[in-house]
Amino acid sequence: MGGDVQVVVTVIKVALIIGLIVVGLMAPMGTTANYATSHPAPGGVVGFFAALVAVLWAYDGWNNVSMVSSEIENPKRNLPLSLIAGTLLVMVLYLLANAAYFYVLTASEVAASDRVPSEMMRHIFGPGAASVVAIGAMISILAALNGSILTGSRVPYAMARDRRFFAAVARVHPEHRTPSVSILLLTVWSALLVLSGQYDQLFNYVIFASWILYGMATASVIVLRIKRPDMPRPYRALGYPVVPILFVLVAAALLVSTFIKSPRESGMGLVLIFAGIPFYHYWKKTDSAGRS
Looking at the fold, whether 141 and 5 belong to one and the same domain comes out as yes
Looking at the fold, whether 107 and 216 belong to one and the same domain comes out as no
Looking at the fold, whether 8 and 103 belong to one and the same domain comes out as yes
Domain-embedded: residue 192:
no
Looking at the fold, whether 86 and 212 belong to one and the same domain comes out as no
Q: How many Å apart are CA 178 and CA 176, to the nearest integer?
A: 5
Domain ranges, residue 65: 1-150
Looking at the fold, whether 90 and 14 belong to one and the same domain comes out as yes
Looking at the fold, whether 141 and 254 belong to one and the same domain comes out as no
Name every residue whose Cβ is closer than 8 Å to that of residue 148 and which is 6 or more positions away in sequence.
Answer: 61, 64, 190
Query: For the residues 279-288, what does the mean pLDDT come to?
Result: 84
DSSP, res 168 = G
Residue with the bigger pLDDT between 260 and 31: it is 31
CB atoms within 10 A of CB 65: 18
Looking at the fold, whether 280 and 205 belong to one and the same domain comes out as yes
Q: Name the domain count of the chain.
A: 2
Residue with the bigger pLDDT between 99 and 136: it is 99
Q: Indicate if the pLDDT at residue 225 is higher than 80.
A: yes
Domain-embedded: residue 26:
yes
| Last residue of one domain, picked from the residues 150, 165, 187 | 150
Q: In 117-137, which positions are buried (b, 16+ CB within 10 angstroms) versus exposed (e)?
A: bbbbbbbbeeeeebebbeebe
Q: DSSP letters along 109-120, please? A: HHHH-S-HHHHH
Looking at the fold, whether 80 and 17 belong to one and the same domain comes out as yes
Query: For the residues 263-274, what does the mean pLDDT come to?
Result: 83
Q: What is the identity of the amino acid at 181?
A: V
Domain-embedded: residue 130:
yes
Domain-embedded: residue 78:
yes
Query: For the residues 144-154, what does the mean pLDDT come to?
Result: 84
The predicted pLDDT at position 245 comes to 95
Looking at the fold, whether 203 and 146 belong to one and the same domain comes out as no
Domain-embedded: residue 245:
yes
Q: What is the identity of the amino acid at 90?
A: V
Q: Indicate if the pLDDT at residue 2 is higher than 60.
A: no
DSSP, res 73 = S
Q: Indicate if the pLDDT at residue 23 is higher than 90.
A: yes
Query: For the residues 42-50, what does the mean pLDDT come to?
Result: 74
| Average pLDDT value over all residues in the chain | 85
Q: Is 70 exposed, middle or buried (0-12, 13-18, 19+ CB in 10 A)?
A: exposed
Looking at the fold, whether 120 and 201 belong to one and the same domain comes out as no
- Classify 42 as helix, strand or coil: coil
| Last residue of one domain, picked from the residues 150, 184, 215 | 150
Sign of CA dihedral 246, 256, 193, 132: negative
Closest CA to 106 of 34, 31, 30: 34
Helix-then-strand count for the chain, H and E: 12, 0
In this structure, are residues 165 and 171 in contact, taking their beta carbons and an 8 Å threshold? Answer: no
Domain-embedded: residue 191:
no
The predicted pLDDT at position 177 comes to 85
Looking at the fold, whether 111 and 206 belong to one and the same domain comes out as no
Domain-embedded: residue 99:
yes
The predicted pLDDT at position 6 comes to 66
The predicted pLDDT at position 5 comes to 64
Maximum mean pLDDT: which of 56-65, 97-106, 144-153, 276-285: 97-106
Looking at the fold, whether 52 and 146 belong to one and the same domain comes out as yes
Chain centroid offset of residue 176 CA: 26
Q: Indicate if the pLDDT at residue 10 is higher than 80.
A: no
Q: How many Å apart are CA 136 and CA 8, to the nearest integer?
A: 14
| Last residue of one domain, picked from the residues 130, 150, 170 | 150
Give pairs for 188-197: CB < 8 Å, separation 24+: 190/148, 190/149
Domain-embedded: residue 160:
no
Q: How many Å apart are CA 97 and CA 102, to the nearest integer?
A: 9
Name every residue whose Cβ is closer than 8 Å to that of residue 200 and which is 6 or more positions away in sequence.
Answer: none
In this structure, are residues 128 and 138 in contact, taking their beta carbons and an 8 Å threshold? Answer: no
pLDDT single digits (tens) 78-116: 888 888 888 899 899 999 999 999 999 999 999 888 888
The predicted pLDDT at position 28 comes to 92
The predicted pLDDT at position 58 comes to 78
